[in-house]
Amino acid sequence: MKRLLLLPLLALRLQAADVGGSAPATITKEGDLVILTLKPEAEQALRLKTIAVEKRSVPAVRLFSGEVVTPLAAEGKPVAPVLGGTLDEVLRLADLQAAADGRILQAQVQMDAAKIAVERAQKMLSAEAGSVRGVDEAKATLQLAEAAMTTAKAQRDLLGSPVGQGGAKRAWVRVAIYSGEASLLDDKAASSIRSLVSTSKAQSAKPVTGPPTANALTNTIDWYYELPADTPLRAGERAAVEIPTTDSKQDALVIPFNAVLHDIHGGQWVYAKTGEHSYTRKRIQVARLAGADAVLSSGPLAGTQIVTDGSAELFGTEFMTGK
């Protein structure tokens, strides 16, 4: 849409170039190709720049959708099985932790009472007012209370640090990976993560060990990546995640992304220089972005000169001519 706003500016430029009153550009059609031929002064007024399509080795990656989550545990502490950082998830974890803390307190009370009972049974036995059986039963009760305490502490440890005491704020990205595709991905390599805003910059995130979560209905397993401390992404936000494959490199056509044009139907195009002052609009298909470059799945041959600066003006010239 931003490029379409340049159309009024284009009209002014073409009018300035067309001092003699003749058309600054002519359009001819050869088969399915539309050739746009500019007058030298019009081409100079548009300040067109071209660059060659490159075929280079780029990292082979797969694109996934990720969700930004908050690990509800302190650094180096056990990771809580509930992540996300949303209010419902925090309240749920807090409820589970409170219940586990209650079981520990209950087990402690039972242990204290069992110790008192053992001491009393032993004193009664020493005073010949009790029996060995009474002492054994009191010791068995104490052992049961100690076992309950061990179980309660183990359950509490699984729930991580208390909510609100997780230390420095951290952010992870949870990615649902189809289990049949997991073997094709490098689970030890850092991923490239960007928000869904087209102008956002990609951030590198290293893999971390998270809770073993999965979804049996969709046959997916969850992988986790830790975002940098200065990430602008917030809990609950969706992100695009590029994970390297085990085939680390692949040859692909690469062009600057600012050369790509989009029509109203979502089609992707570039203008290729096909002759002196002549340009032809060619269809391409962008597979993914790599920084400021676009990696193509289809497009012009390597070495083809395509327009970068001024491509939107050419687009407007082609469709305004004849009106």
pLDDT of residue 86: 63
- Provide, for the chain, the percentages of residues in helix, strand and coil under a 3-state DSSP scheme, each rounded to the nearest 5: 30, 35, 35
pLDDT in tens, 285-308: 888 777 678 888 888 888 889 888
pTM over 0.95: no
Q: How far, in Å, CA of 287 to CA of 168, rounded?
A: 37
Per-residue tens of pLDDT for the chain, all 323 residues: 444 444 444 443 444 444 444 556 676 655 556 787 878 887 778 788 888 888 887 777 888 999 888 776 555 555 555 555 566 777 887 888 899 999 999 999 999 999 999 999 998 888 888 888 988 999 999 999 999 999 999 888 877 777 666 555 678 899 999 988 888 898 888 888 888 876 667 888 999 887 788 888 999 999 999 998 888 888 788 898 988 888 767 788 888 888 888 888 888 898 888 888 888 888 888 887 776 788 888 888 888 898 888 788 888 777 764 44
Residue 278 CB partners (closer than 8 Å, separation 6+):
35, 36, 37, 38
Q: How far, in Å, CA of 161 to CA of 74, rounded?
A: 6
209's tokens: 């060990």
218's tokens: 């969709």
pLDDT of residue 322: 42
Q: How far, in Å, CA of 236 to CA of 81, rounded?
A: 16
CA-to-CA separations, 171 to 62, 164, 186, 192, 206, in angstroms, rounded = 22, 15, 21, 15, 12
Contact 239, 224 (CB under 8 A): no
